[in-house]
Structure 1
Amino acid sequence: MNFSVLNRHEQIDRATDETFDLLVIGGGITGAGIALDAAARGLSVVLLEMQDFAEGTSSRSTKLVHGGLRYLKQFEIKEVAELGRERAIVYENGPHVTTPVWMLLPFHKGGTFGKFTTALGLKVYDVLAGVKKGERRFMLSQEETMEREPLVKKDGLLGGGVYVEYRTDDARLTIEVMKAANERGAVLFNYMKAVGINTTNLAFKEVVGEDQLTGKSHTFKARKVVNAAGPWVDEVRKMDEEVSGKHLILSKGVHVVFDQSDFPLKQAIYFDTEDGRMVFAIPREGKAYVGTTDTFYEGDPKDIKAEQSDIDYLLKAIAYMFPTTNLTQEHIESTWAGVRPLIHEEGKGPSEISRKDEIWQSAGGVITIAGGKLTGYRKMAEKIVNLIVKQLEGEYGKTYRPCTTKKIPISGGDLSGSKHFEAYIQQSIKKGMAHGLTEKESERLARLYGTNIDTVLSYTKKAKGLPPMIYAELLYGIHHESVAKPEDFFVRRTGTMFFNIATVETYKEAVIEEMQRIFGWKEEEKTKYTNELEAELAKVKV
């Protein structure tokens, strides 16, 4: 299957002629997981996303596939056990987008955790989450904690616990799941906004999609429709039913990024703030990022950005745990802000509301899934596709295969598990260097694209104004990852906007010129996309 915007018109024509088994509204990690599971079972699938894939919550998380340690505080035992199992599956099926990192949990006099509760909590976590032997927690003395991370506050420090979390690139994880679904026949459209749902026909439902790139409307037909629109779930529901009772409430999360020359963090840290919340500080590729905030948000998720109050909160948290860093707003290179779509619980604050997913169905038959966490995306998809398959089999007498996604590598993860990944990286570095890339560039591409590295390298050449590595990534993104706009490339395919903003500033004009040449944009289209990119840059800067 083709996964490029270059032949979008033909794909739309074919898709509007077909009646699919399933239409998914929403192209975040939940929608991607549903599309993959359904396609792998033999269902015909079409997915509509109103923005770019992963543009909402699925590119703006803390970028951890974590086992839910904090749920132990809320005694959500089943949640911890399930997330722990799912975390291991995500890692084995896509080791190129998931990296185990040792996380330090320092404990101080008067803090949330003491030595006993930290040791006990981490031990229970190991058991519940089924943590591998080599990744089980261990405890540190005060001196060992300081040795592991000298920046941690010395005053009142009693020691620390160390456990494994899994760092991810959330947007790339979503894209790789999408590509795996596409390889199995799913038809996936970004920039196709669902604007109407008609459930009156007994044989199929109709969803009107408005193409955000051309302004044209198209009607898609499917026997079943799933609303997996994340923060926009209630907006989609309004097309089909009156939204009452169960509804979403949005929680805002903000992260800030520093260069490690300013914040020389050696070790990933999960730490107490003065107000009793927990915040992450994580080193990544020469940078260090800190987050997240957790406050209710009532605006349009499309317009979300870091406000001064968010910046102040995180700087205060950093000063509290890392007092010698003396970081100020001027040190912040970039930020990102996103929302968590939570199911409303009366009287609870944002950090207290459960992250559990829920599924319900309207009178018109549209199935909605809301809540949940990135780590649990595969299990959420399994639950919802089980329901769809049961209905289709009952209504049409068809039979479908059972869920197999536990063992399906996502795109780029064809390595027979994680144990071969580091050896594969070393082989790929040699290939990259043979294409004229540096060792560092070759390693970056191998870790970002996994077993798709050969295809990426096939595009390596010097282009006008662009280094070979960036040119290869751009061409691969356009031909194999549905890149339609410059911001798709810089934000969600490469993460450059968040973690190397200087590169965006340096090469944005050359990238836009090349995209204009490939897509044949008129000058007004080029201006429009340039302005959109500049607006995105303005959002992430402080």
Structure 2
Amino acid sequence: MAFSFSTRLADLQKAENTVWDIVVIGGGITGAGILLDAQSRGLNAVLVEKEDFAWGTSSRSTKLIHGGLRYLKQMDIQLVREVGKERAIVHKNARNLVCPERMLLPIYSDGNLGWGMTSLGLKVYDWLAGVPKDEQRKMLSAEKTLLREPLLKKDNLKGSGLYYEYRTDDARLTISVIKTACQKGAIALNHAEVKDFTYNEKGLINGIKLTDHIHSTHHTLRSKIVINAAGPWVDDVRSFQKNTTNRHLFLTKGIHIVVDREKIPLKQSAYFDAVDQRMMFAIPRGNIVYIGTTDTPYNDNINHPYPTHDDVDYILQSTHRMFPDYPIEKKDIQSTWSGLRPLIQQKRKDPSELSRRDEIFESEDGLLSIAGGKLTGYRKMAERIVNRAQRVIGKRLACQTQHLVLYGQGFDSITDVQHLVNNVNAIIKGPSYLGERLVHLYGHFTIDIIERAQAKTPNENDISHSALLQAELEYTIEHERVCSLSDFIIQRSGMLYFDRAWIVQHQELLKNTMAAHTQGIPSHFNNAQETHLKKAFQSVIAFR
């Protein structure tokens, strides 16, 4: 499969010379899911993204494939059933990327949750969501709860519920879905921004006009239907229409903080009461812990959401309340990220009460737009809107993604995933989380990265970490259409958030590797991306 930086220009030319069944606007998980759904049915589909794939919300979530527990509180039974089923499907199709994660739900006599209602709620959740027997909830005493997580506040602790969420990397899931679609013949173009629509003689949209930001060229793509899956930018894309209708979205912001695990050495993940009536996650990941999230209305620049001092204070206060012996200060925060939720407008509702359901809007000129929804439900969202699009296209091809294993992610069991992790760790001889990280992010393609690193090391049995980092960058340029250093540091590897100091230490190595493998990129694009990366480094600690 040719999905590299070097084949991007040829793909752009092919995209312009083809009449597509579907053009998808937006390279987040929703757009990626639509691209794969359409292409796997036998339709011809192309996707365009103005920045990099997963640049927006799809790299800035809590990085969990939820089973729908919070929707049970809202009595949305149908949604709990659907997301529970979808979680199982996504896990089966990418076991290394979507992994079971035990979650501790502490119960306090002075807290928001009661023992009886928590026990009943988790039991009903297990039944509605079709949770496997070995992952169904357990109720633990206070003593057993503290054995699992000694850092929890002990005063008024009654016990806990132990249940399962599924951990993922949202950006990696997005790129894996896109790669799978491209393996089947789709085209996906990053750094290609839609500027307008084209229309037929009846006034119906039949294509898009875009600007390629790398080469500063303008292009027209023709299609039978255009699907707007631009997440928080859905209303901005709709503004290009001749007859713009009212805005449909209500944006809320969620931030997360990242701290060294030594500052708060959690044994396992927890889902706990915040200082208000909301809930919050604390999730260990390798040698760090990330904590969040907030849920506040957002009306500022949607291209650059940032954490405020109030956002950070809210998380720190909630964390200190739950883990009082390990207070975190602002100076302890290594990085943050801020994401926007594109929710559907509903009058007289608090942001946390707004429905997370997706909704499809069809304009008179034929544009299909989709917004709302959650990471867990991306596959089902894609199925629904492609079904709708086929009415226009005139085909009735069935969805094929329920049993479609993502490219390079085929593992029969979690045991097989762990077996590869063990093999990788035996080769690289580093901390165990290094092998876990590589296999979690790259699946079977980890072997390609390891072989590249071995070729750069005089003694292939003693791989340096810098050679491993260089090999990872090279792999993503050649197989994941990385066009700039920021594409790699933020979306492909997540290192801006989870290994910022490591990246700073090896910036020159990465710059030289990038330059050697992307010769011919115009200087204006390189300069713009370098500026973008500097701002990104500043934004993750902007609250300081």
Asked if Structure 1 and Structure 2 have the same fold, meaning a TM-score greater than 0.5 normalized by the shorter chain, the answer is yes
Q: Report SS of the residue matched to 2:105.
A: strand
Give the drift of 1:416: 4.0
1:324-383 deviation digits (Å, cap 9, x = unpaired)? 112110111110001000011011111010000001211110101110000000000011
Partner Cα separation in structure 1 for residue 396 and residue 524 of structure 2: 50
Provide closer, same or farther for how the CA distance between residues 242 and 322 of structure 1 changes in structure 2, counting only shifts above 3 A.
farther
Is the aligned partner of 1:5 residue 2:1? no
The reply on whether 1:414 has 2:410 as its aligned counterpart is: yes
3-state DSSP class of the match of 1:312? Answer: helix
Unaligned segments of structure 1, at least 5 residues? none
What are the superposed Cα offsets for residues 106-125 of structure 1, whole Å, 9 maximum, x if unpaired?
A: 01113221100110010001
CA contact (8 A) 1:234 1:243 kept: no
Q: Give the Å deviation of 1:239.
A: 1.1
How far apart are 1:79 and its partner, in Å? 0.8
TM-score, structure 2 normalization: 0.94
Q: What CA distance in whole angstroms lies between the structure 2 residues aligned with 1:130 and 1:243?
A: 43
Stretches of structure 2 lacking an aligned partner (at least 5 in a row) = 459-463
Cα deviation for residue 443 of structure 1 reads 4.2
Match of 1:510 in 2: 509
1:495 aligns with 494
Contact 1:60 1:337 in 2 (8 A): yes
The residue that corresponds to 1:216 in the other structure is 217
Are 1:479 and 2:478 matched, yes or no? yes
Aligned-pair CA distance for 1:540:
0.8
Q: Could you tell me which residue of structure 1 aligns to residue 439 of structure 2?
A: 446
2:251/2:340 contact within 8 Å kept: yes
Contact 1:224 1:365 in 2 (8 A): yes
SS at structure 2 position matched to 1:407: coil
SS in 1 for 2:347: coil
- Residue type at the aligned position of 2:11: Q
The 3-state SS of whatever aligns with 2:89 is helix
User: Amino acid of the residue matched to residue 360 of structure 1?
Assistant: F
Q: CA deviation at 1:533?
A: 1.5
1:462 counterpart = 2:461: no
SS of structure 2 residue aligned to 1:188: strand
Aligned amino acid, residue 377 of structure 2: G
Counterparts in 2 of 1:419 and 1:405: CA distance versus 1, 3 Å: farther
> Secondary structure of 1:288's partner?
strand
Residue identity in the other structure for 1:160: S
Q: CA deviation at 1:144?
A: 1.3
Assess, with a 3 A threshold, how the Cα gap between structure 1 residues 365 and 526 changes in structure 2: closer, same or farther. closer
2:64 matched residue in structure 1: 64
Amino acid at match of 1:531: T
Q: Which residue of 2 aligns with 1:337?
A: 338
Distance 2:400 2:342 in 1: 28
How big is the alpha-carbon RMSD for the aligned residues of Structure 1 and Structure 2? 2.0
Residues 399 and 321 of structure 1, relative CA distance in 2, 3 Å threshold? closer
Secondary structure of the corresponding residue to residue 43 of structure 1: coil
What is the deviation of 1:274?
A: 2.2
Counterparts of 1:193-212 in structure 2, within 5 Å, are 193-201=193-201, 205-212=206-213
Q: Provide the rounded CA distance (Å) in 1 between the counterparts of 2:13 and 2:365.
A: 27
Q: Does the C-alpha gap of structure 1 residues 226 and 522 become closer, same or farther in structure 2, counting only changes over 3 Å?
A: closer
Q: Provide the rounded CA distance (Å) in 1 between the counterparts of 2:99 and 2:120.
A: 25
Q: Superposition pairs for residues 157-196 of structure 1, below 5 Å?
A: 157-196=157-196
Instruction: Identify the residue that residue 309 of structure 2 maps to in structure 1.
Output: 308
More deviation, 464-473/65-74 = 464-473
Distance of 2:110 and 2:435 partners within structure 1 = 47
Residues 429 and 446 in structure 1, CA contact (< 8 A), matched pair in contact too? no
Instruction: Write the letter of the residue equivalent to 2:259.
Output: F
2:134 is matched with which residue? Answer: 134
Change (3 A) 1:325 1:382: same
SS of alignment partner, residue 6 of structure 2: helix
Q: Using a 3 Å threshold, how does the CA distance of structure 1 residues 511 and 260 change in structure 2: closer, same or farther?
A: same
- Is the counterpart of residue 281 in structure 1 residue 257 in structure 2? no
Corresponding residue SS for 2:95: coil
Q: Deviation digits for residues 423-444 of structure 1, max 9, x if unmatched?
A: 34344555x45xx888664443
- 1:406 counterpart SS class: coil
2:502, 2:125 → 1: CA distance? 40
Which residue number corresponds to residue 256 of structure 1?
257
Residues 161, 472 of structure 1: alpha-carbon distance in 2 compared, 3 angstrom cutoff: same
Q: Percent identity?
A: 43
**Deviations 1:14-73, CA, capped at 9 Å, x for gaps:** 110110000000000000000001000001111010110001000000000011211111
How has the CA–CA distance of structure 1 residues 399 and 124 changed in structure 2, closer, same or farther, with 3 Å as cutoff? closer
CA 1:41–1:317: 2 relative to 1, 3 Å: same
- Alpha-carbon shift at residue 447 of structure 1 (Å): 2.7
Give the length in aligned residue pairs: 534
State the secondary structure of the residue aligned to 2:79: helix
- Matched residue, 2:461: none
Q: 1:34 to 1:149 in 2, by over 3 A?
A: same
Could you list the per-position Cα deviations for residues 386-442 of structure 1 after superposition, in whole angstroms to 9, with x for gaps in the alignment? 11223322xxxx553x11101001122122455633334344555x45xx8886644
1:166-217 per-residue CA deviation (whole Å, 9 max, x = no partner) reads 1110000000000000101110001111110123346971200111222211
What amino acid does structure 2 have at the position aligned with 1:446? V
How far did residue 267 of structure 1 move? 1.6
The DSSP-based 3-state class of the residue aligned with 1:490 is helix
Task: Name the residue aligned to 1:121.
Answer: 121
Letter of the aligned partner of 1:513 in structure 2?
Answer: N
Question: In the TM superposition, what is the alpha-carbon distance from 1:496 to its structure 2 partner?
Answer: 0.9
The amino acid across from 1:152 in the alignment is L
SS of match in other structure, 1:302 = coil
Could you tell me whether the CA contact under 8 Å between 1:241 and 1:362 is conserved in 2?
Answer: no
AA at the equivalent of 1:99: C
Secondary structure of the 1:82 match is: helix
Secondary structure at the aligned position of 2:7 is classed as helix
Structure 2 residue 373 is the aligned partner of structure 1 residue 403: no
Whether the 8 Å CA contact 2:269–2:283 is kept in 1: the answer is: yes
Deviations 1:466-492 (A, max 9, x none): 722111110110001111111111111
How far has the Cα of 1:309 moved from its partner? 1.1
The CA distance in 2 between the partners of 1:399 and 1:378, in whole Å, is 18
Of 153-162 and 517-526, deviating more is: 517-526
